[in-house]
Amino acid sequence: MSLLLLLIIFLIIVFTIFIFKKSLAVAMIVGIIATIILYRFNFNKIIDTSLLALSNPSSLQVVAITYIVTVLQRLLEGQDVFKKAQNHIFNIFSSNRKATMIAPILMGPLPAISAIYMAAAMVEDSVKDKLNNVDKTYITAYYRHCFEGILPVYGSVIIAITLAKISATSFVITMLPLSILFCIVGYFYVIKKLPLEKTNKVDKLNDIVHLIKNLYPIIIIIFLALFLHINIILSSIISILLYCIIERITIKNLLAKIKDGFEFKILITTFLLLIFKDFINATNINEVLPQLINNSFIPPIIFFIILTIILTFLLGNSASHALLIPLAIIQLKENPIAIAILINGISFFTMQIAPSHLCLYLASEYFDIKLIQLLKKSAIPALFLIVCAILYYFLLIRII
């Protein structure tokens, strides 16, 4: 019954966005109301869950870092940093197609959702009017997450490796074919539509040095957060302050960017999405999953594929990993690496069409398109890659 209710909530959100063409914020409100009604939350549970959601430290941190990195983006845009960086990337890789792919990939390791804005600014400068805004949004959102399904610096990958009790090396090597396929599919789906331009510039070392000089505020955040394990909010604030000192940004200019960085629509949508996730968690779905699996008439492998897609769509890939990988290892009784790759691959590709994926919304906002336009654009390659992940799983269980 719980799986059926989750499926109904899933469909309600899909219909709200695709059929009724409502915004993500409206879809999340509808999703919260549907969860309350279908799971029969009493008044006390509604109040308790709401208070917990509104005061959830992780949710507040996501909203805060979205705002802070937006301020940094405004500062960098004011100095034409992204335009300069994109020119250097073009010279380094000698092709505008490669440069357009690499720009958002470089933003991938930045542990902040709103880094998508920086990727978008670089894609915009590279593509200009050669592609439409939907294609530009797709490129930005797609290649920004190129490494998210494979590198053990991302939360979902760390969870997969830890719960499956496998080495990071084994995971990366086994996941690599799907990640390469991910890049190839994006290239033939959109990047190849970009008219090819090349440069014969040979002084690539000079361009690499200048690229680092342009992107050093981002490099500082990555270094502090990923290697020194400093809180991402503090890392971003340190980077902003250092940038202002080094580039002699006036207090007046900084205050103006702080004001510009506050975009109410984006922040409230982000918060509503996080509140919705807390309401889904309040259904105690993690406690009933084992019972659902044991009592289901659906073959276990099909059950896990369906549930991975639904949970990722509603809660994101980290949640689907945490809930499903331990159960899948017990139920499927196959090699843990194959199971981790299956769930990681499906959830990673599903994230490219999941409204719970904030980057998709932020990228759509940047290029001024409807979220539904991006989801429609992303649907075909995402479904193709999900099928490939399933087929790859069946190959893995035969060869490892």
- For 59-105, write each residue's pLDDT tens digit: 888 888 888 888 998 898 888 888 888 889 988 988 999 999 999 99
CB burial of residue 47 (10 Å; 0-12, 13-18, 19+):
exposed
> Buried b / exposed e across 228-250, counting CB within 10 Å, b at 16+?
eeeebbebbeebbeebbeeeebe
Among 167, 158, 108, which residue's Cα sits nearest to residue 344?
A: 158
Cβ atoms 347, 304 nearer than 8 A:
no
Q: CA of 340: how far to CAs of 35, 319, 357, in Å?
A: 29, 14, 21
Q: What Rg, from alpha-carbon coordinates, does the chain have?
A: 21
Query: How far apart (Å, rounded) are the C-alpha atoms in residues 297 and 299?
Result: 7
Q: What is the pLDDT of residue 98?
A: 92
Tokens of 237: 């604030």
Q: What is the pLDDT of residue 155?
A: 79
Q: What is the pLDDT of residue 365?
A: 92
pLDDT in tens, the chain (400 residues): 677 888 899 899 989 988 888 888 999 999 999 999 999 999 999 999 999 888 888 788 888 888 888 899 889 888 888 888 888 998 898 899 999 999 999 887 776 677 898 899 989 988 989 999 999 999 999 999 998 899 876 778 888 998 999 998 999 999 999 999 999 999 999 999 999 998 776 688 899 999 999 989 988 988 888 788 888 789 899 999 999 999 999 999 999 999 888 878 888 988 898 899 899 889 887 777 777 777 777 888 998 999 999 999 988 888 899 889 998 998 898 999 999 999 999 999 999 999 889 899 999 999 999 999 999 999 999 999 999 999 999 999 999 8
Conformation bin of residue 335: beta by default, left when phi > 0, alpha when psi is -120 to 50: beta
Q: What is the pLDDT of residue 209?
A: 93
Structure-token match 């342009």, residue found:
214
Residue 48 has a CB neighbour count (10 Å cut-off) of 13
Query: How far apart (Å, rounded) are the C-alpha atoms in residues 194 and 138?
Result: 13
Q: Tens digits of per-residue pLDDT, 267-284?
A: 898 889 889 989 988 988
Cβ atoms 73, 221 nearer than 8 A:
no
Amino acid occupying residue 198: K
Q: What is the pLDDT of residue 61?
A: 83
Structure-token match 């922040």, residue found:
267
CA end-to-end distance (rounded Å), the chain: 36
Among 176, 188, 184, 189, which residue's Cα sits nearest to residue 392?
A: 176
Q: What is the pLDDT of residue 364?
A: 95
Cβ atoms 381, 181 nearer than 8 A:
no
Residue 399 has a CB neighbour count (10 Å cut-off) of 7
Q: Which residues pair with 110 in a beta bridge?
A: none
Kind and range of the H or E run holding 212 = helix 204-222
Among 84, 85, 87, 91, which residue's Cα sits nearest to residue 205?
A: 91
Q: CA of 115: how far to CAs of 103, 109, 294, in Å?
A: 12, 9, 42
Q: CA of 200: how far to CAs of 5, 95, 100, 209, in Å?
A: 58, 9, 17, 18
Q: What is the pLDDT of residue 1?
A: 60
Q: Tens digits of per-residue pLDDT, 311-360?
A: 999 888 888 998 899 989 988 989 999 999 999 999 999 999 998 898 99
Residue 37 has a CB neighbour count (10 Å cut-off) of 11
Kind and range of the H or E run holding 108 = none
pTM for this entry: 0.86
Query: How far apart (Å, rounded) are the C-alpha atoms in residues 40 and 43?
Result: 9
DSSP, collapsed to helix, strand or coil, labels residue 151 as coil
